[in-house]
A and B are shown apart, each in its own frame.
Chain A
Amino acid sequence: MRPSFPLGVDILEWKKAGEFYRLHRDRLTHWLTTDEKKFIAGKKKPHEAFAMIFAAKEAVSKALGIRVSGPDALKAIHLKPRTSRKFHILNHAALEVTLSRHPRYVVACCLPVSV
């Protein structure tokens, strides 16, 4: 039998995330942790940092088997950005998220740390 492990992938358009961020930035504090807010605030392009956080949370929620995620599910995932390409998940330490940047999209892939 093949070994199985949690896997979650999310693809998010920079443009869509950017528009969302510009429109609703004041609402986001409710479901972002202090680390996540710091990461966004520390970037020259905060809307892109937000896209990375959102895609990463989506990827984690998919790896955890939450198929339809909303504010509650996203709030329950606490990311610790290590670099712009790798995030740890504080409350799911066995998982990590790797991010890839493409011209139109950010791609977040959540896998166990050991894989």
Chain B
Amino acid sequence: MSQDKQEIIKTVRNIISQALKVDESKVQLESSLIKDLGAESIDFLDIVFRLEKAFKIKIPKGELFPEKILADARFVKNGQVTQAGIDELKTKMSNVNWDEFTKNPQVSSLGNLFSVGMIVNYLSDKLQIASK
């Protein structure tokens, strides 16, 4: 793993630990922000704002946590994410393992896919793009 990615992981773990008031040892790459670390809606905003400050970047709305898709009738039907919605989400969350979610794509369980590793991968891609 590159030195840069290690630095990103270290900073992200520290930010999440501070934002969610959890011990840094509990913040692992595979940790789900909601299921394992107890994040609520306000915490997602808090994390985005802290990441922007720490990495000196702008995270456009919906780019890290693509919540806008879930308000779109094309992508959600009867509390479930449609296949079109899953396809759209996959383009936004390319570093996520979708196998389990696609078996029962409840909107309410989508938040469980938001993990520490997803943030790290997003930042790695974003910072590479930014430095090019």
**Chain A residues engaging chain B, CB cutoff 8 angstroms:** 12, 16-17, 20, 23-24, 27, 54, 58, 65-73
B130 within 8 A of A: no
A72 to B65, CA, bound (A): 11
A73 to B67, CA, bound (A): 8
Q: Tell me the minimal C-beta distance from A31 to chain B in angstroms.
A: 9
Q: Tell me the minimal C-beta distance from B111 to chain A in angstroms.
A: 5
The total number of A-B Cβ pairs within 8 Å is 54
Report yes or no: B42 in contact with A12, Cβ–Cβ below 8 A: yes
With contacts A58-B41, A67-B107, A67-B108 taken as known, whether A72 is within 8 angstroms of B46 at the C-beta atoms is no
Report yes or no: A70 in contact with B42, Cβ–Cβ below 8 A: no
B contact face: mostly helix, strand, loop, or mixed: helix
B residues 51-67 near A (Cβ < 8 Å) are 61-62, 65, 67
A66-B71, A67-B110 provided; 12 other pairs, C-beta below 8 A? A12-B40, A20-B42, A27-B49, A54-B42, A67-B108, A67-B111, A68-B70, A68-B110, A69-B67, A70-B61, A70-B62, A71-B61
Report B-chain residues with C-beta under 8 Å of the C-beta of A72. 61-62, 67-68, 71
B residues 21-56 near A (Cβ < 8 Å) are 40-46, 49-50
**Chain B residues engaging chain A, CB cutoff 8 angstroms:** 40-46, 49-50, 61-62, 65, 67-68, 70-71, 79, 107-108, 110-111
Report A-chain residues with C-beta under 8 Å of the C-beta of B111. 67-68
Q: Tell me the minimal C-beta distance from A66 to chain B in angstroms.
A: 5
Report A-chain residues with C-beta under 8 Å of the C-beta of B61. 70-72
9 A-B pairs with C-beta separation under 8 A: A12-B42, A16-B40, A54-B42, A68-B41, A70-B41, A70-B61, A71-B45, A71-B61, A72-B67
Contact of A70 among B44, B107, B108, B110 (CB under 8 A): B44
A58 to B41, CA, bound (A): 8
Closest chain B residue to A57, Cβ basis: B41
Q: Tell me the minimal C-beta distance from B123 to chain A in angstroms.
A: 18
Report B-chain residues with C-beta under 8 Å of the C-beta of A16. 40, 42-43
Closest chain A residue to B65, Cβ basis: A70
Q: Tell me the minimal C-beta distance from B86 to chain A in angstroms.
A: 15
